[in-house]
Amino acid sequence: MEPLRHDDPSKAGGYRLLGRLGAGGMGVVYLGRTEAGELVAVKMVRAGYAGDEGFRARFRREAEIARRVDNPWTVRVLGADTEGERPWLATAFVAGPSLAEAVDRCGPLVEHGVRVLGRILADALAALHGGGLVHRDVKPGNVLLGHDGPRLIDFGIARPTDPGAAPLTADGVVVGTPGYLPPEQAEGGVPGPAGDIFSLGCLLACAATGRPPFGTGPADALLYRTVHDEPDLDGTPAGLLPVLRDCLAKDPDDRPGARELIRRLADDPRSPHRPVERDATTWLPEDVVRLIAARAARSLELPPVEPTRVDTPPSAPPSAAASRGPGRRGLLAMAAGGAAVLALGGGVVALNLLRGGEGRGAPARPALGVLADLTGRDRAVGREQERGVRLAVAHHNARADAPFEIVVRAEDEGGAAGAAGAAGELAADENVVAVLGPTTDGAAMATLPVCEDALLPLVMISSGRTTLASDALGGESSRVLLRAGPSDLLLAWPIGAHLAEGAGVERPGLLQDRSLGVSAGETISVTALVAQRNHGHTPHPRVVPPGLRENEGFAPVVADMLDAGIDSFVFAGPPESAAAVARELAAAGFDGPRFAPQAVLHPTFIEQAGDAAEGWRLIASFIDPAATPGAEDFVAAYREEFDAEPGYWAAEAYDAAGLVLRGIENAAAGRDEPPARSRLAEALREVTHRGVTGEYAFDPEAGDLGSRETHLYEVRDGRFVLLGPA
């Protein structure tokens, strides 16, 4: 929850507003409280849209639809005012993560958990469809996990199925979330109940495998795959495959109805009407249960109230059971059912744990956490990042006027699977006031929610995923994230510009390898946009599935692109695949301009491509310190400290650590102790820092870097050579 801003109202109807839960372009969702103390979520329309009669009509219908749905698995409407100066809608507050966040952080559910989840959501849809309504946006981000079961939320684009009902969106407009839309809706058709079943099938496939069945990437690519490709259900438990395949049938008539789906998802088909478990501890993984408990406890983080005096009994040694800590049910009882006890006797302790030790007992010797790949595929990058941070801290501690001595605590991110645990170790250390890293996008997705929960500032050095915050936090913005480098989206723009400089370039070939995920899709989409709109080129794009290199290989795809008459080439994918493509192009005698993003700027590319790598150009966000004017002092200090030449990312990590150290000093000005985490997170957004690689300044709202140069490299004589700014 973010604090209220100066222009936010303090009340909506009879509800006192306590803080912001989230905001979009058209409205803000607040956490509120009734006079009786019940927490509520209040969605309020922005003033600029309140005067739009069309928008007001849609909001009015959302309130009407939400009231019409009477089901235990949807949020209960408590009040609304759709006619006032600023319309609002209040619903019961669910103190838990979205399904999207739970799967991203804790991994897929087991088969029994998917069945329970599917039966519950199918029951909610059955009630919706029985009332003549369709939801139109069933997705993991619209399912909240509470201690007493999930809730389907957000009826903002729901609509009646009655053919005579007046539509509130234009004909042919695609409404919903690409990747979860049914084929008929992706093509602009009329939505119906069968479309919700398709979306639910996508949601359950994601819950079972940890990934959406039609992949990720640009909206147009997702819509195309939904209409033309079969879903990717690899890794789905065998018992779920038949029912999920039927839910994901292209023809709406081939999909089961909601009631039939409830029956087919029963563990025992002979007892399809057995009530589902409301208690989350019986069907959700322990990590998810702990996440729900943490969110329930955070709901106690409310504005101050008059203190209540409580006489506490003398302390006694803990029992053996108490020393082991609460189990899954105990966690939920403490966080949900035991809220009154926490609020009176243990509230301060609980909140200090969640805040990472803010307030009394703040660390006198703060630590910078480093989360990096120290043993995996990108360990060379991770090692450079750790060394850069250590060098910056050593220089800080050597200053006579340094207000605090800083220590470094490094953790191996352990890939996407281990990053959340490593981040949890750092978050649990009250001395750690900020974390730098992690190295890879997958680890970043797992790390951000952990730091968000602990209000622990997270400064990303090399992760470039553009949609990181919204994807990792279920569509929400982050309070703690800062990007110390440009995103993949910004790195893609120079490629199209450099293509335009190539003599005779008119038909660039653009090849996306889906092994690299969202990053590759963004690179190809932006390059195509720049080439086509800005320079009048006619791109020839191709998209290949993950694993093509290990299976049939790239030869047929490259041959097809050459036959299409391409005169230049852009590849977005991992370095191993780039090397295979480079060999195919060289064998065919292709010597036109060849470009790739920084994922390919990896020793593996040159090692596996050999002479075929010569002449490739790459866009990167990092410098080569030894070839950068003005970095001489940094290079000399690095050599002295580590008896080695600085590698890629060392200077960027040095600067990112310098930025955080400056933020610590600014936030602690006039105080004799280091700043609390939340204060540091705010202070870092205001810091301007001049480092070895350039100037750092951030958008205070989004936490994104204001501007930084990108850099152009070329492979020459078997090495990456920095040519200058891209």
Structural domain boundaries of the chain?
A: 11-92, 99-166+173-282, 367-485+629-704, 488-620
Mapped onto helix, strand or coil, the DSSP state of residue 478 is coil
- Of 253 and 60, the structure prediction assigns the larger pLDDT to 253
Where residue 714 falls among pLDDT bands split at 50, 70, 90?
A: very high
- Residue 395 scores a pLDDT above 60: yes
pLDDT of residue 247: 97
CA gap 456, 458 in Å, rounded: 6
- Of 319 and 486, the structure prediction assigns the larger pLDDT to 486
- Residue 628 scores a pLDDT above 70: yes
- Of 227 and 166, the structure prediction assigns the larger pLDDT to 227
CB 99 within 8 Å of CB 126: no
Q: Which stretches does DSSP call E strand in 34-100?
A: 39-45, 77-81, 88-92
Instruction: Give the other-Cβ count within 10 Å of 641's Cβ.
Output: 14
pLDDT of residue 272: 52
Residue 20's DSSP bridge partners are 2, 30
- Of 511 and 2, the structure prediction assigns the larger pLDDT to 511
CA gap 535, 660 in Å, rounded: 41
Q: What is the pLDDT of residues 475-511, one digit of tens each?
A: 678 889 998 888 888 888 899 888 877 667 889 999 9
673 DSSP 8-state letter: S
- Residue 606 scores a pLDDT above 90: yes
- Of 130 and 59, the structure prediction assigns the larger pLDDT to 130
Lowest mean pLDDT among 417-431, 512-526, 636-650: 512-526
Residue 97 host element (H or E): none
Let me know the angle formed at the C-alpha of 657 by 653 and 484, rounded to the nearest 5 degrees: 60
Domain 367-485+629-704 in CATH 3.40.50.2300? The answer is yes
What mean pLDDT is reported for the chain? 82
- Residue 112, CA atoms < 13 Å, CB-side half-sphere: 9
- Residue 344 scores a pLDDT above 50: no
Rounded average pLDDT over 509-517: 89
CA gap 125, 71 in Å, rounded: 9
- Residue 683 scores a pLDDT above 70: yes
Cβ neighbours for 230, distance < 8 A, ≥ 6 positions apart: none
- Residue 134 scores a pLDDT above 50: yes
Residue for token digits 């990181």? 468
Lowest mean pLDDT among 152-156, 159-163, 560-564, 662-666: 159-163
- Residue 619, CA atoms < 13 Å, CB-side half-sphere: 27
SS (H, E, C) 174-219: CCCCCCCCCHHHHCCCCCCHHHHHHHHHHHHHHHHHCCCCCCCCCH
Domains 367-485+629-704 and 488-620 share a fold: yes
496 DSSP 8-state letter: H
- By the 10 Å C-beta count (0-12 exposed, 13-18 middle, 19+ buried), 555 is classed as middle
| CATH (one of 3.40.640.10, 3.40.50.720, 3.40.50.620, 3.30.200.20) for 11-92 | 3.30.200.20
Query: Long-range pairs for 352-357 at CB < 8 Å and ≥24 separation?
Result: 354/294, 354/297, 354/298, 354/301, 354/453, 354/454, 354/455, 355/454, 355/455, 355/676, 355/677, 355/678, 356/427, 356/430, 356/432, 356/454, 356/455, 356/456, 356/676, 356/677, 357/430, 357/431, 357/676, 357/677
- Of 91 and 417, the structure prediction assigns the larger pLDDT to 91
- Residue 668 scores a pLDDT above 70: yes
Q: Is 655 a catalytic residue?
A: no
- Residue 165 scores a pLDDT above 50: no
According to the per-residue pLDDT averaged within each range, which of 81-90, 262-271, 451-460 is highest? 451-460
- Residue 341 scores a pLDDT above 60: no
pLDDT of residue 130: 87
| CATH (one of 3.90.1150.10, 1.10.510.10, 3.40.50.2300, 3.40.50.300) for 99-166+173-282 | 1.10.510.10
- Residue 235 scores a pLDDT above 60: yes
Single-letter amino acid code for the residue at 331: L
The closest of 649, 688, 667, 702 to 483, measured between CA atoms, is 702
Domain 488-620 in CATH 3.40.50.2300? The answer is yes
- Residue 619 scores a pLDDT above 50: yes
- Residue 312, CA atoms < 13 Å, CB-side half-sphere: 8
The residue annotated as part of the active site, out of 137, 154, 196, 232, is 137
